């Protein structure tokens, strides 16, 4: 059912894009009502506007905290046009019918992000705006509601095409968008006030929505909710896909662990190769050597300015995406030769306060797996300085591999890994096989396990392969079996007390 807009209430914080809307409404003989700054803006454009105070007989009160909170305003929004009693009360109390409500909300989240003081943030909690939006959305049978400047182009298109009328379907769609907008706003406020990492109800405010070509597979639809532009500057490349985003998250979480120049290759969220060196070019070469076969089509990430020498070396292989904190101009010139490559400049480290996983029609929430080890307990031969460096490196890498996981490291370079296996010994066998494919010398290498060894079979196989130092969380009833073997064969064994499962 079409409704002709005859009167509109407009009260907005941001005036961006508003002029075109009010000129269109004025041209369609719509009576405009407004408050304060918005009324002044409209009148400065030479368009007549009635002050809400003329309806309520009350001025703006309490420093602007109370403007539209009045029965004559809300009555005009909530009145049911087909209800005779409502119409009689409107006539008795002089309540004008309002057919369109255009209201945006105070920029609460932006004020928080700007680091303003608590009193300044509190003042940006909108009361009247949220109430008007909800009232108009509730009464969408008769009233149209626009709750965001992003909707202005759509409103203009509808009013121009339909000569100032709206349909019930359109009003209902706008009402749905309005309730979502208010819910997002309320969650942001609740999150600011909440002192609890895990509140009684799951609350998450993330957006705006970014449509993806598809989800994990072509037959699945997918959307990303979040602020990619706040984390990355996209320099070039094709549209970022669902799987790109998953790998991007894994890559950034991994690289946040390192301070020395480090390069890593990610494939399906697992680390293919990673190395730390004094020069980034050398780190890239060592990371690639870790698993050249798997690096094809991977996601590349580093934590230092990407220079020309490194770019020239990278340019020799096919990759999906490259992330760096900065690019030298001559490096970009090389890398941009292939336009589909996604090149991202990371603006800040990725350090989420919580991790989410959807399952069983609900959401799992946990703290991130932060840290390397709780304790450094050398229960067999003491580790040498070089072994200690490699053990620490390996233990970081293994926590970013899917469980069950094993990481083999030598000279701060991943030389073999096993991940996603159903038994720990199989993860080690896979790591050894990978290492053998690249012809690495395992003598003097270090090994990390994401969880304890249920038997001594892993330390035995590691020893037979030339590995001399091992790190694991411990906690098995049979820890002593592995400890005894390491003591008997002059192996270093470090127990950390910190498991790193990753599923």
Using DSSP, state whether 146 is helix, strand or coil.
strand
Q: 419 with 402: CB under 8 angstroms?
A: yes
For the CA atoms of 399, 347, 337, 330, what is the dihedral angle to 10 degrees? -110
| Residue 496 to residue 350: CA distance in whole angstroms | 25
- Residues recognised as catalytic: 138, 268
Peptide bond preceding 497 in cis form (omega within 30 of 0): no
How many Cβ atoms are within 10 Å of 415's Cβ, its own excluded? 27
SS (H, E, C) 340-363: CCEEEEECCCCCCCCEEEEECCEE
Q: What share of the chain is helix, strand, coil (3-state, %, to 5)?
A: 40, 20, 40
CA distance 112 to 102: 24
**Contact at 8 Å (CB) between 12 and 104?**
yes
Please, how many CA atoms are within 13 Å of residue 242, restricted to the half-sphere of its CB? 13
Residue 244: its H or E element: helix 242-255
Number of helices (H), then strands (E), in the chain: 20, 23
- Name the nearest CA neighbour of 57 among 38, 41, 73: 73
CB-based contact 399:253 (threshold 8 Å): no
């Amino acid at each position: 059912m079409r409704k002709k807009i005859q009167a509109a209430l407009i009260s907005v914080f941001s005036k961006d894009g508003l002029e075109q809307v009010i000129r269109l409404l004025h041209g369609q003989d719509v009576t405009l009502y407004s408050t304060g700054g918005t009324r002044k803006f409209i009148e400065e454009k030479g368009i007549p506007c009635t002050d809400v105070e003329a309806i309520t007989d009350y001025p703006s009160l309490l420093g602007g905290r109370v403007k539209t909170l009045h029965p004559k305003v809300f009555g005009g929004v909530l009145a049911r046009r087909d209800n005779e009693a409502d119409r009689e009360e409107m006539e008795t109390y002089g309540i004008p019918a309002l057919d369109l409500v255009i209201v945006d909300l105070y920029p609460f989240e932006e004020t928080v992000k700007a680091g303003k003081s608590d009193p300044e943030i509190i003042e940006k909690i909108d009361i009247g705006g949220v109430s008007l939006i909800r009232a108009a959305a509730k009464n969408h049978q008769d009233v149209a509601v626009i709750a965001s400047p992003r909707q202005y182009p759509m409103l203009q298109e509808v009013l121009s095409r339909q000569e100032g009328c709206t349909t019930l379907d359109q009003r209902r769609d706008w009402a749905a968008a309005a309730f979502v907008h208010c819910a997002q706003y309320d969650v942001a406020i609740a999150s600011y006030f909440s002192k609890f990492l895990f509140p009684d109800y799951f609350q998450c405010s993330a957006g705006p929505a970014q449509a993806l070509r598809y989800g994990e597979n072509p037959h699945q639809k997918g959307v990303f909710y979040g602020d990619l532009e706040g984390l990355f500057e996209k320099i070039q490349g094709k549209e970022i896909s669902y799987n790109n985003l998953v790998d991007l998250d894994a890559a950034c979480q991994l690289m946040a662990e390192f301070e020395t120049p480090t390069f890593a290759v990610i494939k399906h969220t697992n680390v293919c190769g990673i190395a730390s060196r004094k020069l980034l070019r050398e780190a890239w070469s060592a990371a690639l050597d870790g698993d050249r076969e798997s690096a094809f089509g991977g996601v590349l990430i580093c934590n230092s300015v990407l220079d020309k020498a490194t770019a020239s070396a990278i340019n020799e292989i096919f990759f999906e995406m490259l992330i760096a904190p900065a690019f030298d101009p001559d490096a970009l010139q090389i890398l941009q030769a292939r336009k589909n490559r996604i090149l991202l400049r990371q603006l800040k480290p990725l350090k989420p306060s919580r991790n989410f996983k959807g399952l069983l029609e609900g959401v799992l929430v946990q703290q991130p797996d932060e840290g390397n080890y709780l304790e450094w307990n050398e229960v067999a031969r003491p580790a040498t300085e070089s072994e200690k460096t490699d053990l620490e490196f390996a233990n970081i890498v293994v926590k970013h591999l899917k469980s069950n996981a094993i990481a083999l490291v030598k000279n701060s370079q991943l030389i073999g890994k096993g991940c996603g296996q159903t038994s720990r010994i199989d993860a080690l066998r896979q790591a050894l096989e990978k290492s053998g494919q690249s012809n690495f010398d395992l003598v003097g290498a270090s090994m990390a396990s994401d969880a304890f060894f249920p038997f001594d079979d892993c330390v035995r196989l590691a020893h037979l392969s030339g590995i001399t130092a091992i790190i694991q969380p411990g906690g098995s009833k049979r820890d002593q079996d592995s400890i005894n073997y390491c003591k008997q064969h002059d192996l270093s064994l470090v127990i950390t007390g910190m498991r790193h499962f990753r599923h």
